[in-house]
Amino acid sequence: MTPALAIDKLRVVYDDFIALKDVSLTVAQGESFGLVGESGSGKSTLLRAVAGLAPVTSGTIDVGGKRLGKTREKEFYRQVQMVFQDPYGSLHPRQTVDRLLLEPLDIHGFADTEKRIQRALDEVGLGSGFRFRYSHQLSGGQRQRVAIARALILEPSVLLLDEPTSALDASVQAEVLNLLEQIRRNRKLTFVMVSHDLGVITHMCERLMVMQTGEEVERLEAGDLASRKVTKDYTRNLLVASEGFVREP
Amino acid sequence: MSDTVMTRREWLLTDRPQSRLQARLGRAYLTWSRFAANKLAVIGLGIILLLLFVAAVAPLLAPHSPYIGDLKNARLLAPSATNWLGTDDQGRDILSRLIYGSRLTLQVIVLVAVIAAPIGLLVGTAAGYAGGWVDAVLMRITDIFLAFPKLVLALAFVAALGPGIENAIIAIALTSWPPYARIARAETLTVRNSDYIAAVKLMGASPMRIVLRHIMPLCISSLIVRVTLDMAGIILTAAGLGFLGLGAQPPLPEWGAMIASGRRFILDQWWVAAAPGAAILIVSLGFNLLGDGLRDALDTRSGGQ
Amino acid sequence: MSTLLHVEDLRVSFPTRTGVVEAVRGVSFALGQERLGIVGESGSGKSQTGRAIMGLTPLQAEIKARRLEFNGIDLLKASAAERRALRGNRIAMILQDPKYSLDPVMTIGRQIVETLRTHEKVGKSEARARALDMLAAVQIRDPKRVYDLYPHEVSGGMGQRAMIAMMLIAGPELLIADEPTSALDVTVQLDILRILDRLVIDRGMGLIFISHDLRLVSTFCDRVIVMYAGKIVEELKASELSQAKHPYTQGLLNCMPKIGENRHPLPVLDRQPEWLL
Ligand SMILES: Nc1ncnc2c1ncn2[C@@H]1O[C@H](COP(=O)(O)OP(=O)(O)OP(=O)(O)O)[C@@H](O)[C@H]1O
Ligand SMILES: Nc1ncnc2c1ncn2[C@@H]1O[C@H](COP(=O)(O)OP(=O)(O)OP(=O)(O)O)[C@@H](O)[C@H]1O
Ligand SMILES: [Mg+2]
Ligand SMILES: [Mg+2]
């Protein structure tokens, strides 16, 4: 089976700073793959490079067996979509939910917009009561649901999730995670998910990659983390740190 | 009665609108009530509406002809019951000329706004969004325009194009867009790297679509405010050109030109120059008040968090 | 231990066109030179509590309190100028949403330097040096590069740390940290907490730590206040958070995914109307 996403020796350079150093990665269809690691290690950059929002200097990206060029075609966006980290920043401040969801349908020339918007809202559990609200009339969790609905409305097969719950509180996080899992099951989606919460990653993903300074540190099964079967010191530090704060005497 | 008003108000203000129209009307109503809370702004709006009204029905309001005066008997008369604001050196009724002149003032304002604001918006958003050399080139051009005082530049244009009200309008429009371009660019720069623009890119939208449909709406409110506040300046520039004999040509009742012709009698027949001066002052003030009110009402941030 | 801050019956309400929104409904606590955690779900009034103390509440809001006192200064009676002088200098707040709070068209370094120079008379080169030190202190690798970057050019966590650096550079006596580490990976998170911890222990700073990360709060803070719908539903010692009595607190604790657990779907909060009282 062709992998949903195959990245080979991907390098991203800003001016002369190497944000991503030859990272390779394959994600099978229907799999959920996690990225964890140091802040600034290039996790978002990796997702943005796939989405065509970061400058790729070398390396290749294949989506569904098709090699991506320098510029993305319109078709590409019907295969790959992304949910951003910050629900407060990823919705246009002057547009209603309706308008936000209409935009992708309009760009891709869908006809039955009415039905699709309705279905997308139902799918993320918002219902039509929220359809004509502006984003400032929504809570963080509701905003993130709208962002997810927007990403799903083009029926992509790969969903890139950049810390989708880090700005949400524990109760809303649980709701959004449940929603994402349910959608993945129903639609047989492939996930690539960034989070710094190891609990969230092991909950959501089967495999994961640990990153530091733009490079891969190690690759693990989710179960390895639970049973502490890790080989690299950095990962071990992460595990210890995720236990919480320890005051030195 | 108050019952139906309440429900209509509730319908407008609901946080669960049922249709696009309701959402839009609700938002408009909120903006309006913010605006209406500012008494001075409402006065400003009143002045502008009055100007529109006067211009629209000028022939009905004007007691005399604005062009034909009684040179023999009615030169430089003081204000009286027949000539409320007196007459000028051609024996023409000043009030009638002012009333007809409002049409010219309005024409200048509307045309300048229609020409200058879109140019500024387009140049600014394009420069801000494209960045790189496009930005550099466009902004250097803008800077060159900004470096000259407006009136001087307008004078140069009119000198090249020839005097006349149309040329004055073109000259003023050509000199007023640079500040708008600056504002639009600054606004664009603050939003171009935001996630919501990245999200639209990810939908497959073309740069053109992003600029037109997603960035411009964010720039428009600060631009409207600025244009309104500039109106006073535009009226003054037009009057200045008229005063210097380069704008509207006689016998057109343009207010600036009226002051110019009245200045010869300023000591003995002060009303000839004072009446159009007061008209300019009031209308400019109206636009300033309106602009201030709009700034508060349209404030992008108060709409958000 | 002297008490830095007294808050008694603090109320913040927003008159909106659809009625009054009561964001904070009678919150009382006292803060010494300690770490006080405030937890609670989104919209429970955590940020508005912090903002009211800081004097950053939006203009239209109404603040009422029986007592709101910082180091003997009555914050309710203080003039706008006095509050401005306090703000940033003696009381600082790390705002939620760093990307929103940073100026998108000014480099990170310049923003830190400007903050420093509004509070202290320092030369250009010294300000730069201190800003760089501060960036290094918040564990930013390569501070020299980050100094010249614009907010959109840094990662989520770097933006958050830039914000922290900006607030700490003036050396406040009271720091309100609103979700200061939500975008940071766990190791950096601990580094930041260690910095805050040192400031509390060595300099006697008072710290209000607003967070929805219960695990972090329970291990880092001395005391925890749990808020729900603008009220304090429970106050406990941080180390005893796991034995919380209130069903809301228990529910919050219960819905976090943990390593090595297998709960699909995660339990979610079932909000009860009587919690509102
Ligand atoms: N437009 C840009 N210009 C310059 N440098 C950039 C740009 N975008 C990202 N970088 C740099 O790339 C590096 C990686 O950033 P990235 O956002 O991928 O980190 P991250 O792993 O997602 O971190 P976090 O967990 O904090 O979000 C950072 O050092 C950042 O400064
Ligand atoms: N300008 C405003 N006008 C009306 N209501 C407001 C305004 N600002 C905040 N609120 C309301 O005040 C309440 C408390 O908000 P606050 O920001 O303190 O929540 P929070 O506990 O910090 O949540 P989060 O975890 O999402 O940051 C919310 O219900 C919010 O809707
Ligand atoms: Mg990131
Ligand atoms: Mg908050």
- Domain spanning A5-241: which superfamily? P-loop containing nucleotide triphosphate hydrolases (3.40.50.300)
Q: Given pLDDT bands bounded at 50, 70 and 90, which one contains residue B64?
A: confident
Tell how far the Cα of C13 is from the centroid of ligand 4, in angstroms: 15
Residue B170 lies in a domain: yes
Tokens 């009742």 belong to: B253
Residues of A near B (Cβ–Cβ under 8 Å) read 48, 51-53, 72, 74, 76-78, 81-82, 84-86, 88-94, 96, 98-99, 103-104, 107-108, 128-130, 132-134, 136-137, 147, 150, 154
pTM assigned to the model? 0.84
* Token pair belonging to B220: 């428009």
**Domain ranges within chain A, ordered by starting residue:** 5-241
pLDDT, average across residues C199-203: 87
Indicate the range of A63-72, A86-95, C92-101 predicted with least confidence.
C92-101
Residue C228 has pLDDT above 60, yes or no: yes
Count of positions (residues) in chain A: 249
* Token pair belonging to A4: 């949903």
Residue B73 has pLDDT above 50, yes or no: yes
* Domains held by chain B: number: 1
Q: Could you say which of B30, B193, B194 has the minimum Cβ distance to residue C17?
A: B30
pLDDT, average across residues A44-49: 94
Q: Do C40 and A203 touch (CB under 8 A)?
A: no
Q: Are the C-beta atoms of residues A160 and A90 closer than 8 Å to each other?
A: no
Q: Given pLDDT bands bounded at 50, 70 and 90, which one contains residue A25?
A: very high
Residue B204 lies in a domain: yes
Residue B3 lies in a domain: no
Residue A86 is given by DSSP the state -
pLDDT, average across residues C158-174: 88
pLDDT, average across residues B148-157: 83
pLDDT at A249: 65
| CA atoms of A178 and A175, how far apart (whole Å) | 5
Residue B119 lies in a domain: yes
pLDDT at B3: 47
Q: Given pLDDT bands bounded at 50, 70 and 90, which one contains residue B83?
A: confident
Residue B21 lies in a domain: no
Residue B227 lies in a domain: yes
Tell how far the Cα of A122 is from the centroid of ligand 4, in angstroms: 27
Of A204, A112, A122, A188, nearest in space to A155 by CA: A188
Residue B99 lies in a domain: yes
Of A203, A161, A221, nearest in space to C257 by CA: A203
Domain that holds residue B115: 42-74+82-302
Q: What is the pLDDT of residues B90-132, one digit of tens each?
A: 888 889 999 999 998 888 888 888 899 999 999 999 999 998 9
| Side-chain-facing half-sphere of A158: CA atoms under 13 Å | 23
Question: Following DSSP, what letter does each residue of A103-162 receive, concatenated?
Answer: HHHHHTT-S-HHHHHHHHHHHTT--GGGTT-BGGGS-HHHHHHHHHHHHHTT--SEEEEE
Residue B300 has pLDDT above 80, yes or no: no
pLDDT at B7: 74
- What's at B156, amino acid-wise? A
Residue B163 lies in a domain: yes
Of C195, C171, C163, C273, nearest in space to C228 by CA: C273
Average pLDDT, chain C: 88
The proportion of chain C whose per-residue pLDDT surpasses 70, expressed as a percent, equals 98
pLDDT at B4: 53
**CB-based contact, A246 to chain C, within 8 Å:** yes
Of C119, C96, C83, C99, nearest in space to C48 by CA: C96
Residue C162 phi/psi, 5-degree rounding, is -60, -40
Q: Could you say which of C141, C158, C187 has the minimum Cβ distance to residue A241?
A: C187
- What's at A49, amino acid-wise? A
pLDDT at C18: 64
- Predicted complex ipTM: 0.88
Neighbouring CB atoms inside 10 A of A68's CB total 18
Output the domain CATH number for residue B119: 1.10.3720.10
Residue C188 has pLDDT above 50, yes or no: yes
Indicate the range of B136-145, B241-250, C129-138 predicted with least confidence.
B241-250
